[in-house]
Structure 1
Amino acid sequence: MHFIKFAALGLCSILSVSSTLIRSCTEPNTVALTFDDGPFQYTTELLDYLKEAGIHATFFINGNNYWPELSTDPEKQAILKRVAEEGHQIASHTWNHEIPEQNGVIDKQSVLESLSLIEDLVYKNTGKYPTYFRAPKGEIDEATVMLFEEFNYKVIQWDTDTNDWNRVVNGVKHKDHNARIKAAKEFLTNEYYKKKENYLVLMHDVQPHTVKEIVPYIINNGIFQGYNFVTVAECLGDPTGGWSTIGGNALSILNGGAPPNNNVVQNNYNADVDTIDYSYSNTDFQENRSITTNLNNEVMNLKSDGFMTKTVNFYVIATIILSALYMLL
C-alpha cells in the first residue's frame, strides 16, 4: 500500500514539473508558415501574396520592435485586424523582442506586463487574445518554458529554419540579400524533397527579400505542393485556433485572477478528444485549471512525437491509474 502511494506521488511529481517546447506539427500533411518580428512595412504585401494563394499563416508579433509606433498608430494597427480577418493566427513574440530580466534572472512581473501589452493590443484590433508564444531568437530554457505554461501559453519553436535573417551563408558574411535568398530557396527545395509528414517553418516578415522573393518562390514553384498550408494551432489540431475570447492570460493574472480556460471549445466541438470535458465554466476552471491543462497537454502529446517533452506515454497512463489508487487507499 505504501509503495503504491509512493509511486503515485512520484509519478505525479514527474508530470507536474515537465514542460513542453513545441517544435513540430502533429497533424499530417500540413505546413505551418510562421513569421516573426513584425508587423512591418512589408507585412501588407505578404498578406496580399498569402490571400491570393489561399494560404493561412501565423504571425508572432512584437509591439515595439521594427514599428515602435505600432501601439499608437491606428493605421498600422489595422494590419492586425486584417491578419485576423483573413484567417491567420496572431501569437506573442514579446513586446520589445526580449524576455525581461533583472540581474540576469527572468523577471516574472515584467514578463506578465510584456505579455499583457501584446494581449491588449491584439484584443483591441481583433476582439480576441493570443495564447501562443515564441521566444525572441528561439532562446528559451526549460524553466522559462514552464513559466509561460504557468501563464497558460503554448510555447512554439520550429523544425524548418530558412535562416532568412542571417547574412552569414556558408561561413561568409554578405552585404546584400542575394546569397540568403539563394540559400533559403535551396534549403526549402531540399526540405520539400524529404517529404516529411509536416513542416513548421520559420521566416521573418520584416525582411524584404523574404516577402518579395522567398515567399513567392514557395507559392509559384510548388514548394510543399500537396500539403495543406495552415496556422500553427491548426497544425497542432488545436480547436481553439490559438485564440481566447474569454480573457487574456497575462491580463487576467495581473488583475488578480487565474488565466482563463483557453481550452473551452465553442459549439460543442470536441476535437476528436473524448477524454476531456470542455464544458467547464470559468468558475469551475479556477479550481480545476492545473488538472485540465495537464490532461489536455498530455492528450496532445499522445497524438505525436513532434513535441520535445520529459513526459512519456507510460507515465501518463500509470499516473492516472496510480493516482486513482492513491485516492482510494
Structure 2
Amino acid sequence: MLRLVHTLVFLLPALFLAHSIKASAPKAAVYTGCKVPNTVALTFDDGPYINQTDISKMLVEKGAKGTFFVNGYNYECIYGKKVAARLQATYNAGHQICSHTWDHPDLTDLNATEIQAESDKIDVALQKILGITTQFIRPPYGSYNNMVRQVLSNKTFIIWDFDSGDSVGASVQESENAYDQAIAGNVTSLLALNHETEKTTVSDVLPYAINKLQAAGYNLVTVAECLGMAPYTSVEPLGQRDATWFCPEERSGD
C-alpha cells in the first residue's frame, strides 16, 4: 500500500502537467463569419465536382468570386485528369481553393494521427495540382473540438453564418427564401454555405442569390478577401502530371 501511495505521489504531478500542456496547446483560429463590411463570401463544399465549371463561369460573368472547399477523394478522385483540369481552371479564374479534408470524415471521430493525415493528404494534392499552400480548412459538417484544433493548429478553420440548406433537403424556394431573409435583415456581411454537388443550387439558387445580393449592394468576394487575409501561404506555378497523381483508394486492389 505504501508503495502504491509513493507511486501516485510521483505520477499525479506528471499527469497534471501532461493535461496542462494539452489544455494550453495552440489551437487553430475559427471564423464563423466575414470581417470586412459589405462583403459576401459564397462558398461551395464537396468538390471538385462536375458542376464546378458552371459555378465558376456564372460567378465570373457577374464579376464575382467564390471559394471552393474541396476533398481529395469524395465524389471523385482529385487527381483524375478531368477533375484536376477542372480545378486548375477554377483556380485560374480567380476563385479561392481551400481544404475540406481528404475524404470528408467527421474529424471528431478520428485520432490525432488520422486527423493530421486528412489534412496533409489534401494539402499535398493542392500543392501538386495548383502549386498552392492553403491555411484555410473547413472541417466536414462544421464539426470540430479542441483536439482537432490543436492537431491542426497551423490552420484557419472556416465555418459559416448562413446555410442555404441545400445539403439537408431544402427546396429551391426554401434556399431562396433564406437568402431573402438574410438580405432583409440588413446583415453587414455573409459567409454562405452551399454545395457544388447539388444540381439545383447551381441551376436555380445560385443565379437567384447572386442577383439579389448584388442588387442589395454586397460585394461577392472570396473568404480570404472577406476576412482581409492572404488566400495562400505560398504560391507556385501549376503542377505537371506525374506518376504520383493518383488516389490510393483507387489502387487498393492492385
CA separation of 1:123 and 1:20: change in aligned 2, threshold 3 A = closer
Partner of 1:34, secondary structure, is: strand
Are 2:126 and 1:136 aligned?
Answer: no
Alpha-carbon contact 1:99-1:111 (below 8 Å) kept: no
CA separation of 1:216 and 1:57: change in aligned 2, threshold 3 A = same
CA separation of 1:93 and 1:27: change in aligned 2, threshold 3 A = same
Aligned to 2:161: 159
Alpha-carbon contact 1:162-1:188 (below 8 Å) kept: yes
Alpha-carbon contact 1:62-1:118 (below 8 Å) kept: yes
Aligned to 2:32: 23
Alpha-carbon contact 2:39-2:226 (below 8 Å) kept: yes
Partner of 2:74, secondary structure, is: coil
Matched residue type, 1:66: Y
Are 2:204 and 1:213 aligned?
Answer: yes
Alpha-carbon contact 2:214-2:220 (below 8 Å) kept: no
Q: Which runs of 4+ in 1 moved over 6 A?
A: none
Partner of 2:73, secondary structure, is: coil
Alpha-carbon contact 2:135-2:156 (below 8 Å) kept: yes
Give the aligned CA root-mean-square deviation in angstroms.
Answer: 2.2
Q: What displacement does 1:245 show?
A: 3.3
Aligned to 1:51: 60
Matched residue type, 1:41: I
Aligned to 1:88: 95
Alpha-carbon contact 1:204-1:210 (below 8 Å) kept: yes
Q: For the residues of structure 2 that align with 1:92 and 1:182, how far apart are their CA atoms?
A: 30
TM-score, L = length of structure 2: 0.78
Q: For the residues of structure 2 that align with 1:233 and 1:42, how far apart are their CA atoms?
A: 23
Q: For the residues of structure 1 that align with 2:27 and 2:132, how far apart are their CA atoms?
A: 29
Aligned pairs, number: 215
Aligned to 1:227: 218
Q: For the residues of structure 1 that align with 2:168 and 2:190, how far apart are their CA atoms?
A: 21
CA separation of 1:95 and 1:224: change in aligned 2, threshold 3 A = farther
Alpha-carbon contact 1:34-1:58 (below 8 Å) kept: yes
Aligned to 2:85: 78
Q: For the residues of structure 1 that align with 2:25 and 2:198, how far apart are their CA atoms?
A: 40
Aligned to 2:6: none
CA separation of 1:241 and 1:100: change in aligned 2, threshold 3 A = closer
Are 2:126 and 1:118 aligned?
Answer: no
Alpha-carbon contact 1:37-1:60 (below 8 Å) kept: yes
Matched residue type, 1:207: E
Partner of 2:144, secondary structure, is: coil
Q: For the residues of structure 2 that align with 1:224 and 1:124, how far apart are their CA atoms?
A: 39
Q: For the residues of structure 1 that align with 2:177 and 2:196, how far apart are their CA atoms?
A: 19
Q: What displacement does 1:110 show?
A: 2.4
TM-score, L = length of structure 1: 0.61
Q: For the residues of structure 1 that align with 2:25 and 2:120, how far apart are their CA atoms?
A: 25
Q: For the residues of structure 2 that align with 1:57 and 1:118, how far apart are their CA atoms?
A: 19
